[in-house]
Chains A and B, each alone.
Chain A
Amino acid sequence: MVRISELCSLFSDGNKNIHKFKIKGLPILLDAAGGSVHLIDDAVWDILESIEKNRTSPAIALEELEKKYPPKVIDEVMEELVSLWEQGLLFADESFVEEFLNAEENGELTVKALCLHIAHDCNMTCGYCFASQGSFGLEREIMSEEVGERTVDFLLENSGSRKNLEIDFFGGEPLINFKVVEHITAYGKKKAEEYGKTINFTLTTNCLLLDEEVCEFVNENGMQVILSLDGRKATNDRVRLLKNGGGSYDTVVERIMKFVESRNHENYYVRGTFTRKNLDFSRDVFHLFDLGLKHVSVEPVVAPPEEYGFYGEDIPLLEEEYENLAEGLVKRMLAGQDIDFYHFNIDLDDGQCLPRKIRGCGAGFEYFAVTPTGDIYPCHQFVGEKNFLMGNVFEGIKERYMMELFRSAHIFSKSRCRECWARFLCSGGCHASAYQFNGNLFEPFETACILQKKRIECGIYFQLYKKFGHKISEIMNSRDSLGEKD
């Protein structure tokens, strides 16, 4: 028979190795390192709760449990949990990771993806723009063909053994410099072929200039397109303003719908931002799906609370809102609607390799932003931060130590991440947010952590329904009848 002290000993590292949570009443147990996902009943929930709380005092844990459950139930639960541990489905081992890290630090550093700031200017005046209406606090200018070509060369020359490379046309608004987008695309394809590589192009646009000519071009070139729209008309038009001060919703929706139909609803995301002005953002996401869109990404604004960002009091509301969103999207999915919400996309079955899991973001060591003049920064969010100017595409990366620094910022070098149950799914969070709010790449921004964890919980909930459909509800219903017998 399993003794409770054995179970308590599994919690010797605290409760970072397993995580139990409920979304809309569904009790889920995640194994942090292994990625196994289980549905549990009330007795398992309560027993885990008591053991977590009293892990150094097994006798107290047992005393507490015996007041609520007969010994038979406690024994059953403990036997099952220990059995899962023995099978590696709970408290999975991750001790080999440290050894891997030591070996990896000397690995090849290559450039894999670039965010091209085709235009540091914009044809909109969005209130929350982190890029100061496109300029990033720098001169308003557009990228030349010469800088564009050199940027492609820089990518290819520094890509080492990588075959699949990425270029994102970003701004400001890249389509105000469309001719250069066309030129770089053609040049990039030709040069990539010479190198035996592929460059995957992405365009991020506010859609105002998304006319027939542009649609034809991006479709012909198989370009992924990110289309900016925040949701409901009132939400969108409060912030996403035209130069004349008017709202952009009507024009943008018309262009988006025409565009996604032109490519059979494939290879795009409609991407929105929510702020403290629309804490009920689930309604905005639902609205986007109601328009007939299939691929949606909506995420929190990066801004101080006195502008559009969030106060501490907003966070519980946002967490609840994510749960409402998950529940609503599951209902729609089970009713047959195509639902792809970017932030609930978690690959539960296979997942990523260890190098990717320990640092999700490649900023500063394999992904960089390039300004219209060719200056290189760790990512688009660092552009304009003089301390993070790493070099330029003509002379290369001068500050190599910075590449090492960014590569070293992973979940095992950030003390908060090491202790977090979400470490292998979040993979360390956004470097720019850590720097912006804490002045330190190794100290994640707490608000972002809270929301990230909630998104992961909701993502797991959504993916379980996506994989098992109505079976989840059937299991829960049979659970209810089992509980009555106890």
Chain B
Amino acid sequence: MASRVITLIKGTAVKTDRTVGCGECQTSCQSACKTSCTVGNQKCLNS
């Protein structure tokens, strides 16, 4: 039988091994966005 829930992304968003940040990523609305930045579009430099 087909699954009723299909997991496309197995999240790692909040994991205990990622509680220390290196601080090297872009911060705030520094570039393409000046008023409505979201962390979603600040790429991690270590991932």
Interface residues of A (CB under 8 A from B): 29, 31, 33-41, 43-44, 76-77, 80-81, 84, 89, 92, 94, 96-97, 100, 110, 112-113, 115, 161-164, 166, 168, 202, 204, 224, 226, 269, 271, 295, 297, 299-300, 302, 342-343, 345-357, 360-363, 366-367, 379-381, 424-427, 430, 432-433, 448, 451-452, 455-456, 459, 464, 467-468, 475, 478-479, 482
* A351:B12 contact, CB within 8 angstroms: yes
Chain A residues positioned under 8 Å from B45 (CB to CB) = 164
Interface SS majority for chain A = mixed
Classify chain B's interface size.
35 or more
* B38:A302 contact, CB within 8 angstroms: no
| A interface footprint on B4-39 (CB within 8 Å = 1, 0 otherwise) | 111111111110101111111111111111111111
Answer whether A345 and B27 are a contact pair too, CB < 8 Å, given A36-B9, A76-B4. no
Closest chain A CB from B26 CB (angstroms): 7
**Of B26, B30, B36, which one neighbours A452 at CB under 8 angstroms?**
B36
Chain B residues positioned under 8 Å from A459 (CB to CB) = 40
Chain B residues positioned under 8 Å from A89 (CB to CB) = 7, 10-11
Interface SS majority for chain B = loop
**Of B1, B4, B35, B47, which one neighbours A433 at CB under 8 angstroms?**
B35
Chain A residues positioned under 8 Å from B26 (CB to CB) = 113, 166
**Of B7, B16, B44, which one neighbours A352 at CB under 8 angstroms?**
B44
Instruction: Identify the closest chain B residue to A159 (Cβ).
Output: B23
Q: List 8 A-B contacts (CB under 8 A).
A: A37-B11, A161-B23, A166-B26, A271-B34, A300-B35, A343-B33, A352-B42, A355-B21
4 closest A-B pairs by CB: A35-B13, A35-B11, A360-B39, A355-B21
* B6:A39 contact, CB within 8 angstroms: yes
